[in-house]
Structure formats: C-alpha cells, structure tokens
C-alpha cells in the first residue's frame, strides 16, 4: 500500500478493514472498543476510540495496520508516517536480546507481555512507557495480528 492509498484510508469517522480496506462503518461516537467482522474477507477488526493511551494494531509481522490518534501526540510521527511501518521507527532502544525475547513470547509462545520500554520520539527525545502487547488469533490458533497499548510513564516517577 503506498502513501496515497494510506492517506485515502485515514478519516477519523471511517472504520475500514485492516486486511482489505473495505469501509465497514462510520462512527462519530467515542466508543472505547468495537469489533467488526468484514463481510468481504471475513477478518475480525478491532477499533479503539476514546482510549487515553496509544493503541496500535499490527499484522503478524509487526507492520502497523491501525494506530489511534495518540501515536502522533506521543511519538511525534503522523498516522501517515506510521501506517505500513513497524513500531521500531520510535522503538529499537532496548537491545537485540530484549526484542528477541519479546518476539519469542508474543509470536512463538503466543502469550501477552507487559514491559517497560524506552522509546525515541521523532524529535530524538527519549521517553519511558509501559507496553502491553497481546496476540490476536485466527480460528486455527495462528497469530493473525498484535494489539499494543502504550502508556507513557511521567518523568517524575
């Protein structure tokens, strides 16, 4: 998907399928979570609105399919800049062993994790965050996507 296609998909009122891009609904409410099954490709779509933390959904390889508006506020990267990329654009500060263990837990062992991470904003400043990543499974118990929730830890803690 190129930047033009991604830009066309971004409308805060539109809820589109993460797999095929089909328009699923229009939503003006601040519902915390919605589950919508796509009638074109059959995938289950999770949508988070009104959440006070950064929420991203990636495919099984870690490519960002969805990010709520707080991604820009926290990382400095716009939705256009993050969709289709991996969270390593603001992460990658923890060392190879950390990320190897993280992927082992969420993709191989298929279990959620909760960790404290150091990330880097677009402007180069570092911040600490509590990160929770949960795998989302298909009917065959294969990991289809990941949901990550990141809460910034204030500097004075």
Residues 48-60 pLDDT 10s: 556 788 989 899 9
Q: What mean pLDDT, rounded, does the chain reach?
A: 80
In the 8-state DSSP scheme, what is residue 86? -
Q: Over the stretch 4-55, which tens digit does the pLDDT of each residue have?
A: 444 444 444 566 666 666 666 555 544 445 555 666 766 655 555 567 889 8
Q: What's the Rg (C-alpha) of the chain?
A: 15
66 pLDDT more than 50: yes
How high is the pLDDT of residue 155? 81
Rounded average pLDDT over 103-113: 94
Residue ranges of domains in the chain, CATH in brackets: 3-152 (3.30.450.20)
Q: What share of the chain is helix, strand, coil (3-state, %, to 5)?
A: 20, 35, 45
State how far the Cα of 8 lies from the Cα of 130, in Å rounded to an integer: 32
Residue 91 corresponds to which tokens in the numbers above? 């992460």
């Amino acid at each position: 998907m190129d930047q033009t296609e991604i830009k066309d998909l971004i409308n805060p009122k539109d809820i589109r399928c993460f797999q095929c891009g089909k328009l699923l609904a229009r939503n003006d409410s601040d519902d915390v979570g919605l589950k919508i099954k796509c009638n074109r490709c059959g995938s289950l779509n999770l949508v988070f609105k009104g959440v006070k933390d950064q929420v991203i959904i990636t495919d099984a390889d870690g490519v960002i399919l969805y990010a709520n508006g707080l991604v820009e506020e926290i990382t400095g990267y716009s939705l256009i800049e993050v969709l289709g990329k991996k969270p390593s654009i603001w992460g990658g500060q923890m060392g190879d062993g950390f990320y190897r263990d993280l992927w082992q837990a969420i993709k191989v062992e298929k279990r959620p994790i909760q960790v404290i991470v150091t990330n880097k904003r677009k402007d180069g400043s570092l911040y600490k965050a509590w990160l929770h990543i949960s795998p989302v499974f298909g009917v065959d118990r294969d990991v289809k996507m990941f949901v990550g929730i990141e809460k910034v830890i204030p500097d004075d803690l």
